[in-house]
Amino acid sequence: MPSQPETIGRYQVLSEVGRGGMGCVYRARDPVLERVAAKALSKRPGDRYASLEEMRAALVAARDELPTAPSLAQLRPAAPPPSSRPGGSGGVASAIHPEARGGLLGRGGPAAAPPRPALATPSASPAGLLPLGSFGEARRVHKVALSPDDAVLAAGGLDGAIYLWDVASRFKVATLRNREHLRTGHGSLTGALAFSEDGAWLAAGHLDGAVYLWDVAAGLELDVRLHHDGAVTGLAFVPGGQTLITAGADATVRFYELPALLRRDARRVLRRQPDAATCLALGKAGRVVITGHANRALRVHDTADCRLVATLHGHRAPVAAVSARGGLVASGGRDGAVRLHDLDTRELLGLHQEHARAVTEVLLLPGNAQVASVAGEDSVVIWDYRRPDAPSVLPGVPDDPFVALAVSSDGSVVVAATAGGRFHLFSAALQP
């Protein structure tokens, strides 16, 4: 007889209620809602699903049958009066400058309200930056990612948990803790986050080398085992949704083919890299994968055949962050420098060296001319490589440095996360 599992997705198994030809029923605790529920499995523990589609169907069926496993929409609480909302007065939509609507905050939530008179639109900087408000809670954050429809913000905490926020309403709608976190009571720092192209899956890589896949709508962890022999430092889904690429401090870059992922043999590994991989991004519409390394180099590989295409040099310290869009790649180093390269010609297009600390995140914005970066300081810097001597600075709050960035799908809004758990929004409608 198969042994009783300790966890099923996010549920902590308390006892077995019964079993039969159709499967098993367990008494389990939902740590997200702090409730006890009966958790039914269409297959017994230890059984394997034939495909990710079969597993997702089972997860969705279980979610639909149990009121204690709601969707994000069901989890979202009723909106309180504006004066009582967390993070300031009014919802996010009410704080949006008219020019920024239709992007991040114009979809997946309540209809946008007119700007409140009390939230006067600040004067735009030379690059056109417009602060749009903030939200969050007092919880340490390390990484963030936006879902492709810009409706959900995933924040990876220092405690290893993943916090999901509904962007339009400013509410935290779920807390995801993986099986190891639930088993031990301690989580490993989140080193990387990535949504699949359709937003159905969320991948999270951790300092202990584990990679977990989550069904976003159900809030459930998939029964797969992905692991590096060192910290996971980068994740990306290849466009088309069939491949997940991971990078780690064990100097490997791994390719997981999602349709066959449950067989646990669906993995390609690039020839061992010269040094630890510190970050990862996809470029040229997913045709190449770019990794930053502790030896200060950027390495570019073809995602189809894993062939090394180029090696870029120039940083005087390990590369800490990378972002690509089209044929360009931006990289930030622990030397405080941000560099912009053309992937085809390998030409250095721009260099920004004003950060006093190690860069923690870079973001190449739509248009391929502006780069946003943060370096554990109380400001976000955006510079245009065509005008490198006139960067724009978005000030934050003293003693709560910016550590991570994300951008909406249309590039109109940037989310800047602070170490203390606040998410600042600002317009990225920069002047050409």
Of the candidates 142, 32, 133, the one whose C-alpha atom is nearest the C-alpha of residue 85 is: 133
Phi, psi of 187 (to 5 degrees): -105, 160
pTM, 2 dp: 0.73
In this structure, how many other beta carbons lie within 10 angstroms of the beta carbon of residue 180? 17
Mean pLDDT along residues 102-112: 34
Of the candidates 214, 256, 253, the one whose C-alpha atom is nearest the C-alpha of residue 233 is: 253
Of the candidates 168, 178, 186, 172, the one whose C-alpha atom is nearest the C-alpha of residue 203 is: 178
Mean pLDDT along residues 183-188: 85
DSSP 3-state assignment of 303?
coil
CA 430 – CA 405 distance, rounded (Å)? 17
* CA distances for 295 relative to 159, 282, 332, 383, angstroms: 29, 20, 13, 26
CA 153 – CA 306 distance, rounded (Å)? 31
- Dihedral angle at the C-alpha atoms of 97, 418, 110, 163, nearest 10 degrees? 170
Mean pLDDT along residues 307-320: 94
CA 331 – CA 372 distance, rounded (Å)? 11
Is residue 221 within 8 A of residue 9, CB to CB? The reply is yes
pLDDT at 20: 58
Half-sphere exposure of 116 (CA within 13 A, CB side): 14
Please identify which residue in the block is written with the tokens 């905050």.
Answer: 105
pLDDT, tens digit (0-9, with 9 covering 90-100), for 187-240:
899 999 999 998 989 999 999 999 999 988 888 888 777 889 999 999 999 988
Domains and CATH numbers, the chain: 7-75 (3.30.200), 93-427 (2.130.10.10)
Residue 211, amino acid = V
